[in-house]
Structure 1
Amino acid sequence: MPKILIVGGGYAGFYTAWKLEKHLRKGEAEVMIVDPLPYMTYQPFLPEVAAGSIEARHSVVALRRHLKKTAVISAKVTGINHANKVATITPIAGEPYQQEYDQIVVTAGAVSRTFPIPGIADNAIGLKTIEEAVAIRDRLMSNFDKASMLPRGAARDRLLTVVVVGGGFAGIEVFAELRSFASSLIKSYPQITFEDTHFHLIEAMGRIMPEVSLKTSEWVLKDLAKRGANVHLDTQVTGAVDGNVELSTGEVIPTDLIIWTAGVMANPTVVRGGDLPVEERGRIRTRADLRVGTEDEIVEGAWAAGDVSAVPDLSGGGVGGYCVPNAQHAVRQAKLLAKNLVGVLRGELPHEYVHKNLGAVAGLGLYNGVFQSGNIALKGLVAWVAHRGYHGLAMPSWERKFRVVWGWWNNLWLGRDLVNLEAVQNPRYVFEEFAARPRPAAAVEAPKAAPAVEAPVKATVPS
């Protein structure tokens, strides 16, 4: 059977494998998917996970549960030699090995794009994984616990200050969700007032959310200002050593939580470790039919989709002529890729990917959101309902949809879950503190020396 190797288990990888299982006949091909993590993360839910509105496990999809006919390999692809159709697989346990294939699908996604700014690599945290979202939530709650025990002053202010870098959709959503979350936490901390909390968003451009109209983005800025948020436009971060965020304006913001959402880049481990063609922005050159190559040249047996690929946007709505890296494109590209791949195996011609962006929707905290589609803009509660409705339906599998919607329903009546599990990052601390340990071996005493015997003194008798 032909061997199909899928590199990456994110949106595009998971959906490609899921649809291949549907379209392939029994015995028509063998499908393998390689990813070091055993789940697909539904990234639009990460801001809500960080704000405690969605249970972390509900926003990921287990690969082994939903891919019944696909071999799931817990590993990284660290090299692609497509000339010989061999990939280097580096498993999470064991030695690297070579895997032959007939068709390769590169869907390795993207990672946070950072710049060599002093302190960012050591002090900031991204928002691309479920682990990062959980860590942000727990850090904010731990900081509230610590601040509630401190007198007013610089140390307390640092703990209650949050800085988000990047004013795109991801940055605005996590910024607004955390502002909403912090406001709800204040009710449980009588020692902390609303004025004690400080939220700063840093954006290098002169506006936020380029995906929506300028008028809509200005409404978002006003809405954030009403909630006590500080947005710094036309401002860059120049340093973050020891958590002191230095801005190009000369201002310094001491903080214990820096969240970096200023852009993404194609997964460099996969892109640089292979011989597939790469364009100037570091993405794999991909045709409109999702085969790797250019308009004039096809790399046979190689496919790509999602954030790691540069797919021409035939609808005319892309940036620089290419599809923007978002979930909307990744899912639709993956579905078409699966159909095209099966069609090519059967001697059919592939179809080109054409999709006009349906719009953008963002949650801005509980009961507040924004939606933009063409000239139609919705704001507030109705946009928030549209946001949850869209993403609730877009979540793959009925099993996961039910878990997410059930969680929303419970939160509607019970409120957010305020349990802080930051200690899970060091789960053995209590056990180690009280665990009995062997006593140190007693020192062997040196044998006591025998007492010295003095020579008898002879008395001298005078003659």
Structure 2
Amino acid sequence: MARTAEGTSGAPHILIVGGGYVGMYTALRLQKRLKRELKRGEVKVTVVDPNAYMTYQPFLPEVSAGNISPRHVVVPLRRVLTRCTVRNARVTELNHDEGWAIVQPLAGPPERISYDYLVMAAGAVPRLLPIPGLAENGISLKTVGEAIHLRNHVLEQLEIAESTNDQEIRRKALTFVFVGGGFAGVEAVAELEDMTRDATRYMRKVSPEDLRFVLVEAADRILPEVGPDMGKWTAEQLRGRGIDVKMKTFLQSAVDGRIELSDGSSFPAGTLVWNAGVKAAPVVKHSDLPVTERGQVKGTEYLTIEGLVRAFTAGDNAAIPDLTQEGMFCPPNAQHASRQAKVLGDNIVRSLRGKALKPYVHGNLGAVAGLGLHKGVANPLGFKIKGWPAWLFHRTYHGLMVPTVNRKIRVLADWTLALVFKRETVPLGSVERPRSDFELAAASDAKPKERAAEPAAEKTA
């Protein structure tokens, strides 16, 4: 049975669902604008997220390739949100009309908390299609845990191929399929192809020619964010590196690791990475908030939730009108989320003080993508940049955008050390199975006791 907590005093209670871009940056904005009120307890802010950190997702492909340490792309929420209450939990149900939410902590019974102002910033999860074998064999790249797992998994596939003479096992292990030709899919396939090519330098049986990378995209082009010309150039560059780029193609099945595509091709693959779209976090479904046909929260240009009072939203789980393009909505990317959060935080303060809200207006600054070490593509403010200059621009931009000075310095240190030392390509799959040796030792210790008990049992019989 849920119990009531929070929001019991007379101070306005602001509940922020989600600690990602929008959630963390909104809380930071409120800390800055309501510093005195928070200190005196005149306003309360609670941030609820299943993780105790915010992840800078644009760096996940580089984490999976080993260019950046996983710890350096996450920001501890409690360290930066010193005047807010951070709940490491998941919101499972929400009723804004009555002003309460059900929060499920990591351990223990769920709690019902009351609030006065809502910020729905739960973000998004992968949008899976009913494709046979996808749920069992695929992996996405939206969390730091997935990035770590993907890196270890890919390197382990190389070790499998290096350690066997079975040609079928080798072919499957050395085949890597990536579905989705947006930023996440293209950067992931490019970074991991670059990493595996480096790893084969230290192997006797596996060479770069043995690797097979396949990028599958349903549309007729990849990287639509950088424009058709740059997308075409990117496809040519990837194909020049031996990556099979298949457009107007769909994944039809992945049962038992056998990939079947709409173009008629069928082959086994040891790795399947799914980056073909996202959908709003499940909590949106379990609420009374208005949603679009795509399941996103209906937002307004003021970052409020349509038809509701004291309710705000932004980021991946929201459909926010793009005032610079009539009839369009803001794309779900970090560029918009971080800027929306500032306006959202300011509008909450205006609402508390009875002032008029301001609309969110932001012109597109362009897009940038990394394609492995010293390779990239970008179109900042309409300028087309390719190759090494684009890669440098990519690192400069994201190096400046990653939150906190602490993380900026750590990421810069990772990049600087990589200029001097070679990339580490050691698989650490055992970290995902830390008790395997312990269980093996326990099983081996139990067997002698079982054998010793057998004669006694026979004698008794």
Common fold, TM-score beyond 0.5? yes
Local SS of the residue matching 1:146: helix
Within the alignment, does 1:203 sit opposite 2:217 as a pair? yes
Within the alignment, does 1:83 sit opposite 2:93 as a pair? no
What is the correspondence of 1:2-41 to structure 2 with a 5 Å cutoff? 2-24=12-34, 25=36, 26=39, 27-41=41-55
1:446 to partner: Cα distance:
9.1
Cα deviation code 1:213-272 (max 9, x no counterpart): 2111111111111111100111111101011110011101210100000011111x2111
Q: Give the direction of change, closer, same or farther, for the CA distance of 1:448–1:427 in structure 2 (3 Å limit).
A: closer
Q: Percent identity?
A: 47
2:322 matched residue in structure 1: 313
Local SS of the residue matching 1:225: helix
Structure 2 unmatched ranges of 5 or more: 1-10
1:419 to partner: Cα distance:
2.7
Cα deviation code 1:372-400 (max 9, x no counterpart): 13531000010000000000100000011
Question: 2: distance between equivalents of 1:442 and 1:307?
Answer: 61
1:454 matched residue in structure 2: none
Question: 2: distance between equivalents of 1:57 and 1:336?
Answer: 29
1:109 to partner: Cα distance:
0.2
2:347 matched residue in structure 1: 340
Q: Give the direction of change, closer, same or farther, for the CA distance of 1:356–1:433 in structure 2 (3 Å limit).
A: same
Question: 1: distance between equivalents of 2:94 and 2:51?
Answer: 20
Within the alignment, does 1:291 sit opposite 2:300 as a pair? no
1:442 to partner: Cα distance:
4.2
TM-score, length of structure 2 as denominator length: 0.93
Question: 2: distance between equivalents of 1:109 and 1:146?
Answer: 36
2:5 matched residue in structure 1: none
Cα deviation code 1:150-184 (max 9, x no counterpart): 22612101101100001111111001111111111
Letter in 1 for 2:69: E
Q: Given that residues 226 and 368 in structure 2 are in contact (C-alpha distance below 8 angstroms), is that contact kept between their aligned partners in structure 1?
A: no
Letter in 2 for 1:261: N
Give the greater-gyration-radius structure (CA).
1
Question: 2: distance between equivalents of 1:409 and 1:143?
Answer: 29
Local SS of the residue matching 2:233: helix
Local SS of the residue matching 1:232: strand
Cα deviation code 1:340-379 (max 9, x no counterpart): 1011101111110000110000000000000113531000
Within the alignment, does 1:260 sit opposite 2:270 as a pair? no
Aligned partner (choices 182, 199, 203) of residue 168 of structure 1:
182
Question: 2: distance between equivalents of 1:20 and 1:180?
Answer: 42
2:62 matched residue in structure 1: 48
Question: 2: distance between equivalents of 1:228 and 1:83?
Answer: 55
Local SS of the residue matching 1:433: helix
Question: 2: distance between equivalents of 1:104 and 1:234?
Answer: 41
Question: 1: distance between equivalents of 2:145 and 2:346?
Answer: 33
Moved over 6 A (4+): 443-449
1:325 matched residue in structure 2: 332
User: Higher helix proportion, which one?
Assistant: 2
Aligned partner (choices 180, 191, 216) of residue 194 of structure 2:
180
Question: 2: distance between equivalents of 1:366 and 1:306?
Answer: 30
2:438 matched residue in structure 1: 431
Within the alignment, does 1:74 sit opposite 2:81 as a pair? no
Letter in 2 for 1:413: V
Within the alignment, does 1:273 sit opposite 2:286 as a pair? yes
TM-score, length of structure 1 as denominator length: 0.93
Cα deviation code 1:278-319 (max 9, x no counterpart): 1111111111111111xxxx41111101001111100117xx
1:118 to partner: Cα distance:
0.4
Q: Given that residues 181 and 222 in structure 2 are in contact (C-alpha distance below 8 angstroms), is that contact kept between their aligned partners in structure 1?
A: yes
1:448 to partner: Cα distance:
8.6
What is the correspondence of 1:133-172 to structure 2 with a 5 Å cutoff? 133-151=147-165, 153-172=167-186
Question: 1: distance between equivalents of 2:236 and 2:125?
Answer: 31
What is the correspondence of 1:83-162 to structure 2 with a 5 Å cutoff? 83-151=97-165, 153-162=167-176
Local SS of the residue matching 1:111: strand
Cα deviation code 1:71-124 (max 9, x no counterpart): 110111111111110111111111012100010100000011111010001100
Question: 2: distance between equivalents of 1:402 and 1:169?
Answer: 25
Structure 1 unmatched ranges of 5 or more: 450-463
Question: 1: distance between equivalents of 2:217 and 2:160?
Answer: 29
Within the alignment, does 1:416 sit opposite 2:429 as a pair? no
Letter in 1 for 2:386: K
1:447 to partner: Cα distance:
9.1
1:415 to partner: Cα distance:
2.0
Q: Given that residues 195 and 425 in structure 2 are in contact (C-alpha distance below 8 angstroms), is that contact kept between their aligned partners in structure 1?
A: no
Q: Given that residues 102 and 110 in structure 2 are in contact (C-alpha distance below 8 angstroms), is that contact kept between their aligned partners in structure 1?
A: yes
1:417 to partner: Cα distance:
2.0
Local SS of the residue matching 1:80: strand
1:439 to partner: Cα distance:
3.4
1:234 matched residue in structure 2: 248
Question: 1: distance between equivalents of 2:209 and 2:394?
Answer: 29
1:40 to partner: Cα distance:
0.7
- Number of equivalences: 442
Cα deviation code 1:400-419 (max 9, x no counterpart): 11111111111111121223
Within the alignment, does 1:300 sit opposite 2:309 as a pair? yes
1:401 matched residue in structure 2: 408
Letter in 2 for 1:92: L
Q: Give the direction of change, closer, same or farther, for the CA distance of 1:326–1:448 in structure 2 (3 Å limit).
A: closer
Local SS of the residue matching 1:275: coil
**Alignment RMSD, CA only?**
1.7
Q: Give the direction of change, closer, same or farther, for the CA distance of 1:158–1:445 in structure 2 (3 Å limit).
A: closer
1:211 to partner: Cα distance:
0.7
Local SS of the residue matching 2:310: strand
